[in-house]
A and B are shown apart, each in its own frame.
Chain A
Amino acid sequence: MSDTQTFLLDGEEIPFAPGQTVIQAALAAGHYIPHLCYHPEFKPHGSCKVCTVKVGNRTAASCTLPAQAGLEVESASDEMNDLRRTLVQMLFAEGNHFCPSCEKSGNCALQALGYDLGVMTAGFRHLFPDRPVDASHPDLLLDFNRCILCELCVRASCEVDGKCVFALSGRGIDKHLIVNAPSGRLEDTDVALTDKAVQVCPVGVILKKRVGFAQPIGARRYDASPISAQALADAPRAPAGDGRCAACEEAEEK
C-alpha cells in the first residue's frame, strides 16, 4: 500500500505498523537485529542492550525504540557489533558460564548469540562469583550462576502465569534473581512445572530436574541453525496490506 510507513535500517526500507518497535518491525521484515532480553511474546524490557542500534549520533535499544517514519537506523555495522560482543563478554565474565558442562549447551541463547556474533575471546577477567544452586523444589532447579537478568521469567510469571514467583533484587553488580517466598527458597513458592516462567529462561537457570543431558549433541536447538535464523523464523510477521498474515500463508504452504 502506498501509505505504508517506513524507516531505514542499514539503508534498507523497513515497513512498520503503528505501535511497533524498531526490532519488531525489522524482524517481521526479515532483518535480524541481535538481542537477548527481547522475546516476541512479551512486552519489551530493554535491559540487556544487545539490540542497541545507532540513530543519528545516539544509540538506543531497538527493542524499546518506537518505529517512526523516516528514522535512519544503523545496526549491522562493525561499531554496533563490537559493542554487542563486548556486552556478551561481560555477561560471560559476570556469571559462571562453563558451556562444555552445562546441560543447556546447544539450547542456550547466550551461547548461541556468542557464536553468532563471533565472540572468540573472554575479553574480561571472569569474576567467578560464588552462587549456590537452589535445589529445594522437588522438580525444579535454580542455577543462579547463569542468570543474565533478562527478566523473562519475571515477566512470564506475572503476566502469563499470574503468580509473580520471580523478581530481580539489588542494583548494579549486586543485582540478582530472587523468588517470592519468605524463606527465599523455590520450594516455598507456588511455581509449577507447567508455568510459562519455567519454560522461558533463555539460559540454564530455571531447569527441570533430572533431565540433564538426555538430549544428545546434534539434536539441540542451535545445532540446527544459528540464533539469527531462528529469531527470524520465530518472529511474528506484520499483517500484509490485504489483511492477511504472511506467516500464516507460509504455514499453509507447508
Chain B
Amino acid sequence: MTMNLETAAHPETLRRVAIEPVSRVEGHGKVTLLLDDDDRIHQVRLHIVEFRGFEKFIQGRPYWEVPVMVQRLCGICPVSHHLAASKALDQIVGAKNLTPTAEKLRRLMHYGQILQSHALHFFHLSSPDLLFGFDSDVARRNIVGVAQAYPEVAKQGVLLRKYGQEVIRLTAGKRVHGTGSVPGGVNKNLSREERDLLLADIYQIIAWSREAVALARKLYEQSPALYDDFGRFDAHSLSLIRADGALDLYHGGLRARRKDGSTVFDHVNYDHYWEHIFEEVKPWSYMKFPYLRELGPEDGWYRVGPLTRVTQCDFIPTPFADHERRDFLAYGGGSAAGATLGTHWARMIEMLHSAEAIKELLHDDDLLGDDLVVTGERQERGVGMIEAPRGTLIHHYRVDDDDVVARCNLIVSTTHNNQAMNESIRAVARKYLDGRKLTEGLLNHIEVAIRAFDPCLSCATHALGKMPLIVELVDAEGRQVDSLSSGSL
C-alpha cells in the first residue's frame, strides 16, 4: 500500500532521492524516492509535467478544429487523440452511427497507429534493454546496437513501424497531423490503388508480427525469475471491451476488475465515465490520480494498457493473436499475465492483432465507399474513448450554442497508469536500492520499469541512448547528500 505513506506523520523527516532527466522533449519526468529513517523505500513519486494547458487552450476554439488541433498534445500518439476527439465530436454533431466506410477507415487508421507505436516501443525503445540486459554497456544499448548484433530484428522493427505509418498516411492524409477523421465520419476513403498498395505487404507484416511475439516470449523464457518478479505489483484493471467480450481497441464498454479478477463493473457505457472514474488531485503533482469510485480513493487506482487488455478480454477476434493470448495466459501458470515485463509480450500480441485486423479490413470493400459523413441532432456534450497504444484514453467536450468549445477534460493513458507506475518503481527500488548510495544499476532498472508502461514522457523515449539522468540524494533540509549522473552527460 502506498497511499497511507502520503499521510506519514512526519513526512518532513523523509529524505528524498530525486532522479531528473535532463532532456525534456515531450514534457518531463522526475522520480522521487522517499526514504525512511532506516533507509528503506517508503514511497515513490513519479512527477510528469502533463498537458493540462491544452484543456485551457482549446477553450473558445470551434469544435470542428478539435480533432486536428489535439494532435499537438503528443508527438508519440497523435492519431489516438485525433480519433478519441473525433468520437467525442461524433456525439456533438449527433452522429449516432457512422457509415460502415467511415467506421472501418477509422479503425484502419487506429490499427495502423497501434502497429507503428507498438513496433517503435518494442524495437526501438525496449529491445536494447531486453536483448542486451539492463546493465549492459549504454553505448551499445540502443537501436543501433541492436542493428549490429541482431540485424534482422532491427530491420523488421523499422519496417513494421513504417508500414503502420503508411496506413496512417493513406487514411489520415499525412503521417503526422493528418485530417482524415472528422466529426461524424471521415473526409476520404481509400482508393483501389491505395488499398492494393497496403495489401501487397500485409502478409509479410503479419509474419513479422508473429516473429515479434515469439521474440518477446523467448526473452521472457530466458530469464523467467527476473521477468516474473521485476517491478511486479498487483493492480485493479480497466479497459474497453466489445459487447461479446472480445478485445476491441477502437470501441466498447468499460470493464473493470479487481486484483483478484472479480468484476467491479462490465460493459458500462462510457458516456458517463465520471460516475465510475474520479480524478483526485494531489499537492505534489500536476498530474491527477484517477481512481474507480466503486473502490474509493485509497484503493481504487488501476492499471490500463496492453497487459490489462490482453488479460481481461474474453478472446481476441483474430486467430493468430488469440492463439498467442492463450499461450500468454497459460505461461508459468499465469505468471506472465501479471508481470510488469509481461507487458512487452502482451504488447506484441496486440501488434499481431492489429496486423491481422488490418488484413481483414483491407479485404472489405466498404473501405472504398463514398458515404463518409453523417450528422444528426446537435448535442451539447460529447465523450470519446479509445484504447490508445498505452491504454484507455478519454476525451470529453462541452460545446456551446455558438459552436465553440466551452470545456474540455482529457484523461490520458499515462495519467490512468500514474499510481501503477509508482508501484512498479517502488517494487524495483525496494529490491535494488542499497543503503543511501545511488547506483547506475538502480537507475537503469527504474528506467526499465517506467519504460514497460511506455508512458508519454521524454525520459521514457530514450532515443538512441540519449537519456542522461541526474540523480540527487537530498535530505530533509534540502541538502544534497549524494548525486549521480548516468548516461551520456
Contact = CB atoms under 8 A, between A and B. Distances in A.
B72 A101 contact: yes
A112 interface: no
A212 B182 contact: yes
Interface string B153-194: 000000000000000000011100111101100011000000
A contact residues, range: 20 to 34
B402 interface: yes
B448 interface: no
Nearest to B177: A100
Contact of B64 (A103, A216, A217, A218): A103
A136 interface: yes
Interface in B399-428: 402-404
Nearest to B185: A214
A127 to B, nearest CB: 17
A43 interface: no
Contact of B182 (A100, A143, A207, A213): A213
Given A141-B62, A218-B173, A210 B182 contact: no
Given A103-B64, A133-B62, A213 B71 contact: no
A213 B404 contact: no
Nearest to B174: A217
A216 B60 contact: no
Interface in A211-236: 211-219
Contacts of A141: 62, 403
B68 to A, nearest CB: 5
A209 interface: yes
B48 interface: no
Given A101-B71, A216-B180, A211 B402 contact: no
Interface residues of B, number: 25
A132 interface: yes
B134 to A, nearest CB: 38
Contacts of A103: 64-65, 68
B404 A133 contact: yes
A219 B60 CA distance: 28
Contacts of B373: 214
A8 interface: no
A133 B60 CA distance: 7
B64 A213 contact: yes
A135 interface: yes
Contacts of A101: 65, 68-69, 71-72, 177
Given A100-B71, A218-B173, A212 B64 contact: yes
Interface of A: 98, 100-101, 103, 132-133, 135-136, 141, 143, 207, 209-219
5 contacts: A101-B65, A101-B72, A135-B404, A143-B62, A216-B180
